[in-house]
Amino acid sequence: MPRREFQPGRLLAGLAFATVAALYLGDAQNLWHIPWFTALPVTTGALFLAGIANAVARAIRRQRGTTEDG
């Protein structure tokens, strides 16, 4: 099986979406109250950080001379 390169942006985005899902799941089970607009700043911030992480990872790969497939 071929190894895949580590993509930190996808990791951050996935963790953020899982966090939003967990927050709204707790709200649906009446464990706590989450305002309806909570997902907007969390996902926007996470996508911003994911973009920065991808840019940094790409710059590091270019500096090392690693080629990208795809």
The rounded distance, in Å, linking the Cα atoms of 18 and 25 is: 10
The pLDDT tens digits of the residues spanning 18-49 come to: 999 999 999 999 999 999 898 899 999 999 99
Q: Is the pLDDT score of 70 beyond 60?
A: no
Per-domain residue ranges of the chain: 8-64
What is the distance of C-alpha 36 from the center of its chain?
Answer: 20
The rounded distance, in Å, linking the Cα atoms of 55 and 23 is: 29
Q: How many CB atoms lie within 10 A of CB 26?
A: 13
The token pair that represents 1 in the structure block: 């099986």
CB 42 within 8 A of CB 14: no
Q: How confident is the model at residue 4 (pLDDT cuts 50, 70, 90)?
A: confident
Indicate the length of the chain as a whole number.
70
| pLDDT for residue 40 | 93
Q: What is the pTM of this model?
A: 0.75
